Amino acid sequence: MPHTTPGGAPRILLVRFSSIGDILLTTPLIRALRLRHPGARIDALTKAPFTPLLADNPHLDAVLAPEAGESLASLAARLRPADYTHRLDLHGSLRSRSLRVLLPGRWGGYSKRPVARGLLVLTKRNRYPRGTPPVPERYFEAAAGLDVRPDGGPPEFALSAAARDEADAFLAAAGMPEGRAVIALAPGAAHATKRWPLEYWMTLARTLGVEGNRVVVVGGPEDAAAAATVARVSPAAVLAAGKFGLQGTGALLARCRVLVSGDTGVMHMATGVGTPVVALFGPTVKAFGFFPYQARSEVLQRDLPCRPCSRMGGPACPLGHHDCLRTITPEQVLRAATSLGGR
């Protein structure tokens, strides 16, 4: 039997401060908790910029965030009155571990397997000898006392009506057709080695346009310059990167029939809104646990002896050639996008 408070349902706090993909990958656990404990209080704690990822999640009672300048001690004091019966540390960072100390009680955690991941990088193996579940399923380790298991469904990124209206208005102003007729491209990535070459993105955008597709180029403000370069090559493309928040970007993706992306948070946003994904994986591998989860997708990757070369991507290819992504051609990506997106 799961632990409950006397005469009451569990009061559960999930902690994951960042980043986009990691937060969205907690949603299968959130869904399972709600279905198993319909009367529970379930709150999520994250950083303020990421709250839009969970704000409309129907399974949560509240999405909490540290206030600007708030200390961890003050945050812990603010959380204390809720008297959570279960506190799930889904981050395993210095900050979340410090919060555990400041908010003592029944905490569950999960194994991030940093040493094992480092060993894969060192030995250039792309799988663990005994296998390992993907990250969304590893999060369930933190909820061991709550009798939940993965339901086989994808992450959820719930969208507000306002975000959907914003995306619809943008696409209508760009002359984009109704329905899911647009292809999304996400050329950005935080680390350079995870980025498919810009000239390949430009070729892809141009070819998609010539073949009669409409294209929307998405990403965050930090991706806007590269995205603008891609959008400029085709009259069929429109630039959205840097113009929308997380909810608006999710709503745009929901209107697209397929997204092409690297190993990024945008990729997980698309799976969260039900849009198929063509994912380009270079220096990172499936065993790390971040492939598109339980969603329609095609992962393009190369079987190279130098993969994986880093745990999260890096500033430059250590070998100088970047063959892990350079040998994935625009023609291959076009075929995958056309096939997965249908028409």
- Longest Cα separation, the chain: 65
Among the listed residues 283, 289, 292, 341, the single contact to ligand SF4 using CB under 6 A: 283
Q: Which residue has the tokens 């806007």?
A: 224
Query: Residue 105, interface with ligand SF4 (CB under 6 A)?
Result: no
**Nearest-approach distance from CB 316 to ligand SF4, in angstroms:** 8
Query: Residue 317, interface with ligand SF4 (CB under 6 A)?
Result: yes
Here's the x/- map for ligand SF4, 154-193, by CB under 6 A: it reads as ---------------------------------------x
**Nearest-approach distance from CB 190 to ligand SF4, in angstroms:** 14
Query: Residue 318, interface with ligand SF4 (CB under 6 A)?
Result: yes
Q: Of 206 and 307, which CB lies nearer to ligand SF4 in the complex structure?
A: 307
**Nearest-approach distance from CB 15 to ligand SF4, in angstroms:** 32
Query: Residue 282, interface with ligand SF4 (CB under 6 A)?
Result: yes
Only one of the segments 32-40, 162-170, 251-259, 299-307 lies at the binding site for ligand SF4 (rule: CB under 6 A); that segment is 299-307
| Terminal CA-CA length for the chain | 49
Sheet holding 41-45, edge to edge: 62-64, 41-45, 11-15, 86-89, 107-109
Which positions ≥6 away from 227 have C-beta within 8 Å? 185, 187, 188, 217, 218, 219, 239, 240, 241, 242
**Nearest-approach distance from CB 302 to ligand SF4, in angstroms:** 8
Here's the x/- map for ligand SF4, 323-342, by CB under 6 A: it reads as xx------------------
**Nearest-approach distance from CB 317 to ligand SF4, in angstroms:** 3
Q: Of 155 and 330, which CB lies nearer to ligand SF4 in the complex structure?
A: 330
Which positions ≥6 away from 182 have C-beta within 8 Å? 171, 176, 213, 214, 215, 216, 255, 256, 257
Q: Of 169 and 192, which CB lies nearer to ligand SF4 in the complex structure?
A: 192
* Residue in 110, 35, 59, 122 with CA at minimum distance from that of residue 289: 110
Among the listed residues 11, 59, 91, 322, the single contact to ligand SF4 using CB under 6 A: 322
**Nearest-approach distance from CB 261 to ligand SF4, in angstroms:** 17
CA count, 13 A, side-chain hemisphere, 310: 18
Tell which positions 51-70 bind ligand SF4, by CB under 6 A: none
**Could you give the CA distance from residue 134 to residue 193 in angstroms, rounded to a whole number?**
22
**Residue-level length of the chain:** 343
DSSP string, 132-186: ---HHHHGGGGGGGG-----S--------HHHHHHHHHHHHHTTPPSSS-EEEEE
Contacts to ligand SF4 by CB under 6 A: 193, 282-283, 304, 306-307, 309, 317-319, 321-324
